[in-house]
């Protein structure tokens, strides 16, 4: 087999090895997003920070927001080291006004938003019969209402740029997982919202899609949901035999927001190494066995 070279479609073996991120600019032009403003909710850490890194590497300017302003600023500092212009905001996606203000300020400093990544999420494993109504509500509010708030607040700017929205969904949206009733309901709602907005906003040139990542190494989601002792067993069960990395999702986002996906809207792109093909049985059993309710 031909060896991998940057700029070809071959997949470098070192990039599939554990812990070795693949530079997205080996495969897409470094200037792909030059002059393009990307706003990312929950962009301070995890999958969303991985997405931010990919866009920064491809020339984008970024606004990121999170509930913890210091954490958002630290993430922005890291991203600025790549040469990207990055603004950090303390804004809770449940607070529409805060989000709207952050987006306005992003626009004033960097130009109108061309891509919105609605990624802010909350999660904790909890059996449905033990979950309080408020526990259920808080996750639906952060994930689903937060996704609507972000899309609605960005609408005018996206209309102006004929931009696109990427919602961060999850396998729980289409497969039931034990202890994830709140997350399943919220993420399924996000995907239906995505389709509704794709339907309504297509006439403005706004594309709306979701990405459903599988378990992504080093994230709060994996820390909370996957018992440490079970990680290797679970990784081996995944058809591609590894957990994902933030850069795996960053590349998918870079594709979906680009003209390469210019005719793609209303689509849920599952990027999980094939994990969903297993069903949720093995995960459910392990979660039940290792249930950790301390978050
Ligand atoms: N098990 C059961 N219930 C829980 C819980 C747990 N581990 N953690 C929180 N709750 C319940 C609380 O008891 C409360 O309900 P109550 O008022 O009936 O007691 C409700 O959820 C709200 O909790 P609170 O801590 O006040 O909410 P918050 O807005 O400060 O935090 C969370 C939101 C709960 C989602 C929190 O886990 C969080 O901030 N997560 C962000 C990071 C994250 O989850 N990342 C992973 C994304 S995949």
> Which of the listed residues 45, 121, 124 should we mutate to test ligand 1's pocket, taking the one with most ligand atoms within 8 A of CB?
124
**What SS3 state is found at 81?**
coil
Task: List residues bridging with 39 in a β-sheet.
Answer: 63, 116
Tokens of 47: 């999958």
pLDDT at 209: 99
- 29 C-beta closer than 6 A to ligand 1: no
- 223 C-beta closer than 6 A to ligand 1: no
Place of tokens 């606004």: 63
Active site residues: 169, 187
> Which of the listed residues 178, 219, 295 should we mutate to test ligand 1's pocket, taking the one with most ligand atoms within 8 A of CB?
295
pLDDT at 12: 53
> Helix 69-80 crosses helix 46-57 at what angle (to 10 degrees)?
30
What is the distance in A from the centroid of ligand 1 to the CA of 218?
A: 20
Cα–Cα separations (whole angstroms), residue 45 to 23, 49, 208, 219 = 18, 5, 23, 8
The pTM of the full predicted model, rounded to 2 decimals, is 0.93
- 283 C-beta closer than 6 A to ligand 1: no
Low-confidence stretches of the chain (pLDDT < 50) are 1-4, 7-9, 292-295
Domains and CATH numbers, the chain: 34-289 (3.40.50.720)
In ligand 1, which atom is closest to the CA atom of 121?
47
- 122 C-beta closer than 6 A to ligand 1: yes
CA distance linking residue 220 with residue 156, whole number of Å: 32
pLDDT at 291: 58
Local structure of residue 10 (DSSP, 8 states): -
Helix %, strand %, coil % of the chain (to 5) = 50, 15, 35
CA distance linking residue 281 with residue 227, whole number of Å: 15
Are 178 and 287 a contacting pair, CB within 8 Å?
Answer: yes
What is the distance in A from the centroid of ligand 1 to the CA of 173?
A: 19
pLDDT at 143: 98
pLDDT at 290: 66
Closest C-alpha residue for ligand 1 atom 28: 138
pLDDT at 33: 97
């Amino acid at each position: 087999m031909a060896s991998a070279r940057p700029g070809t479609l071959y997949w470098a073996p070192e990039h599939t090895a554990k812990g070795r991120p693949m530079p997205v600019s080996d495969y897409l032009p470094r200037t792909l997003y030059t002059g393009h403003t990307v706003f990312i909710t929950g962009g301070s850490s995890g999958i969303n920070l991985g997405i931010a890194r990919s866009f920064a590497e491809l020339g984008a300017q970024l606004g990121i927001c999170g509930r913890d302003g210091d954490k958002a600023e630290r993430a922005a500092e890291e991203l600025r080291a790549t040469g990207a212009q990055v603004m950090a905001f303390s804004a809770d996606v449940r607070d529409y006004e805060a989000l709207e203000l952050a987006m306005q300020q992003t626009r004033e400093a960097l130009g109108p938003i061309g891509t919105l990544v609605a990624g802010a999420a909350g999660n904790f494993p909890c059996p449905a019969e033990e979950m309080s109504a408020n526990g259920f509500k808080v996750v639906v509010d952060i994930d689903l209402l937060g996704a609507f708030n972000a899309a609605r607040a960005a609408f005018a700017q996206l209309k102006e740029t004929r931009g696109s929205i990427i919602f961060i969904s999850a396998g729980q949206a289409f497969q039931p997982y034990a202890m994830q009733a709140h997350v399943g309901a919220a993420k399924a709602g996000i995907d239906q919202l995505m389709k509704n907005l794709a339907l309504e906003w297509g006439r403005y040139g706004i594309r709306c899609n979701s990405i459903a990542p599988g378990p992504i190494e080093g994230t709060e989601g994996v820390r909370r949901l996957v018992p440490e002792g079970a990680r290797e067993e679970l990784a081996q069960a995944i058809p591609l035999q590894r957990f994902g990395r933030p850069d795996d999702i960053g590349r998918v986002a870079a594709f979906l927001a680009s003209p390469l996906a210019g005719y793609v809207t209303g689509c849920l792109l599952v990027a999980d190494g094939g994990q969903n093909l297993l069903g949720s049985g093995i995960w459910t059993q392990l979660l039940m066995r290792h249930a950790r309710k301390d978050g």
